[in-house]
Structure 1
């Protein structure tokens, strides 16, 4: 009887201590992180199509020996025409190939430095707090846009854009910001079901913000050119930084970092995959991270070449139409993903939903690679529907397998894999697109579908 009382007293003390460690309001902090996430994503992610279209317009000017159209709205006399001559067709191929090369350089200048940062930054955050993970990429994004604005304003060489993107890369960029968001979501959730839904909500917020950002960016490019969208996006990032500094509650009780050596934190980050104490658990970790890597390779590949694909023949889309498509695609697939997780998880395991999503994504990529009309491209999100839940489920499963004090480390390992796979995906599929743009333009998407099939089989 005395033992029971002692256990009750001990548990009550533990409950009190755990209550003291919790933020004052989980609801408030979830709302704040969602607002910050949407501000960052709506401003940062549209930089990919924005930079791509700007570079494309610069090469149009270069190959046509025309006037500078880079600081104003895109030239209405584009060499990309749905019915054109053989000579104009060759010109368009040269423009696409040159743009692909520049986009690849920008992509690697962000992702390669981010690999180094993400190896240890998440593990350190388990001791010094999460706010640092939010602030670093916000400052990096500001540097990226400042560099771009200077190039647009003064018509500098395209290589000057790389200076800003390198600073963004050494801040960890988008992968570190997502690391912060996912680790924060893990801090304020306890069960796998709520954590999965919280991560899906975070991913859905990313998709919604991306849709709004690209829609507005496409509209602004069409009306105002390339400079003012960058100014607006930079203002949004500054607003997000202010909210993080003054409104976001720290969820980690700061402790002394006993070991500052990156090697120690490297072991913490990747120890999940080599730990011999639990063979079955290690196998699940390895299988999950392989699937995560394959999905990330494809998703980054799509981001790298899709805008170029839409700018070229036979579609010849303008910035506004690219923005409309991005908004429709992300909003539709976000709604499908939320419905699938909310309703489907009550009937089947979330892992089954993830595998189903992979097969849907495979079908959508095949359709996109074979598309020859606008209507076929607009069917791509419909076929993909809830394919976006696959990455969210994997994040949730891996997060739930580790202790609360290891959340930063596990998400750091995923962020490192994310950036490394992103660099591989961007480089591989941008190069493949450039090599096949004059033969079978959709080859890159067909190869991506094969990679997704490998991920589904592995899972």
Structure 2
């Protein structure tokens, strides 16, 4: 028999009976973290998202200033596609690796990469180098996992340190941090760049990325208690992601599909919303567009509060369905909006639209073991990166192609797509209820049989 290869990783400990909660590898540590502090990785998500929200429009405007409009769209495409291709490689590697070596490295590494990216961007701006050098910064960030890895690491951390009952709300808190940071970044970036051009605000981007590294290093306790030495560059990590889905349940695949559709519609609607509002018959000015964006980001906070309130009397699946119905109602209203009043009514109907994604993330997390959370959320991050590309291709192509017969058709199309996750969540919720009923029925029959046997023996 051949000796085992030195490249092989030690076998991961078996999942606990409660695969989604903290027992097993992280139970004691998770309990200590929960009792010590309610805030852990939330500032990491907030600062990283704030930096990203500042960086993206500033970089696009700088490229537009240096190049013609057509070249701007081309360079944005090159930078995004190049980064996406590398992120697929790095995120799946780092996410599974973190299941063994811990979460803190994958919180700091991508933040360092993002800091290097902003440094490269600043050098290009000050030295007026060709805008193609932006691609170097993008690749440096992508190799370290990019913002997708920060999200995956933070969601994995929450899965490590929360129990099954609180996990959905903790995930929703993280997502609300994204919304608040996005709103702050939009306001700060717009006002600052208007006053002092694009270069000075980029120093804040660099400072926020460095602050994210420092916070993760100094204030985030490690959530993986039984860390194991593990090589980073090995195919074992990719195989662990493959095993997650190849041996996973049908529910994992269906929830992943539901998440893909929901996030694709979310990104796609954001891409065309401003174009819809700028043109006739709405003809909104920048101040009205700002009000709309503020309401869009406020949806994160209202959805968080709504989710917390509804959890007292509604199941997580029911909350996700309400979120989808809220989203569908808002999109249908947008599709026929010819006045500002109707447009704002659509925004109001969508206020619970962000309750769906935290439920889907939490449900997927509960279907895998405690030693697979990093691999799971790394794969989810890759799915969401694919959503960004898919939404750009689908909605940015559909919107101009359907203007001649119905300007709001893209919103109606998005609402129709959301019927897919609505059906998936309803089906899985029904199947789970049926399973619980049959288990209860079997237990009742066993108890009755035991009682009858006891009576006969007497």
User: 1:287 is matched with which residue?
Assistant: 254
Aligned residues, how many? 403
* Equivalent in 179, 194, 215 of residue 222 of structure 1: 194
User: 2:163 is matched with which residue?
Assistant: 190
* Equivalent in 54, 58, 69 of residue 50 of structure 1: 58
**C-alpha separation between the residues in 2 aligned to 1:258 and 1:155?**
42
User: 2:373 is matched with which residue?
Assistant: 407
* Equivalent in 316, 321, 334 of residue 350 of structure 1: 316
The TM-score with structure 1 as length reference comes to 0.77
Query: 3-state SS of the aligned residue for 2:227?
Result: coil
The TM-score with structure 2 as length reference comes to 0.77
Q: CA RMSD in A?
A: 3.3
**C-alpha separation between the residues in 2 aligned to 1:167 and 1:326?**
31
* Equivalent in 244, 254, 276 of residue 272 of structure 1: 244
**C-alpha separation between the residues in 2 aligned to 1:306 and 1:28?**
43
* Equivalent in 68, 72, 84 of residue 111 of structure 1: 84
**C-alpha separation between the residues in 1 aligned to 2:78 and 2:177?**
29
**C-alpha separation between the residues in 1 aligned to 2:155 and 2:300?**
17
Contact in 2 for aligned 1:369/1:443 (Cα 8 Å): yes
Identify the range of structure 1 (373-382 vs 244-253) with the bigger mean alpha-carbon deviation: 373-382
User: 1:4 is matched with which residue?
Assistant: none
What are structure 1's unaligned runs of at least 5 residues?
Answer: 1-13, 63-94, 276-280
Query: 3-state SS of the aligned residue for 1:159?
Result: helix
User: 2:99 is matched with which residue?
Assistant: 126
Contact in 2 for aligned 1:126/1:407 (Cα 8 Å): yes
Any idea what the Cα deviations from partners look like across 1:341-378, whole Å, max 9, x if unmatched? Answer: 11212222111221221232233334445545555544
What are structure 2's unaligned runs of at least 5 residues?
Answer: 1-21, 426-458
* Equivalent in 42, 47, 50 of residue 39 of structure 1: 47
User: 2:306 is matched with which residue?
Assistant: 340
Cα displacement (A) at 1:178: 1.0
**C-alpha separation between the residues in 1 aligned to 2:417 and 2:209?**
34
User: Given the alignment of the two structures, is residue 326 of structure 1 paired with residue 293 of structure 2, yes or no?
Assistant: yes
Contact in 2 for aligned 1:108/1:427 (Cα 8 Å): no
User: Given the alignment of the two structures, is residue 428 of structure 1 paired with residue 401 of structure 2, yes or no?
Assistant: no
* Equivalent in 386, 391, 398 of residue 364 of structure 2: 398
Any idea what the Cα deviations from partners look like across 1:100-134, whole Å, max 9, x if unmatched? Answer: 54443333233222111222221110111101111
**C-alpha separation between the residues in 2 aligned to 1:234 and 1:297?**
29
Contact in 2 for aligned 1:44/1:233 (Cα 8 Å): yes
Contact in 2 for aligned 1:49/1:307 (Cα 8 Å): no
**C-alpha separation between the residues in 2 aligned to 1:273 and 1:435?**
37
Cα displacement (A) at 1:204: 1.0
Query: 3-state SS of the aligned residue for 1:51?
Result: helix
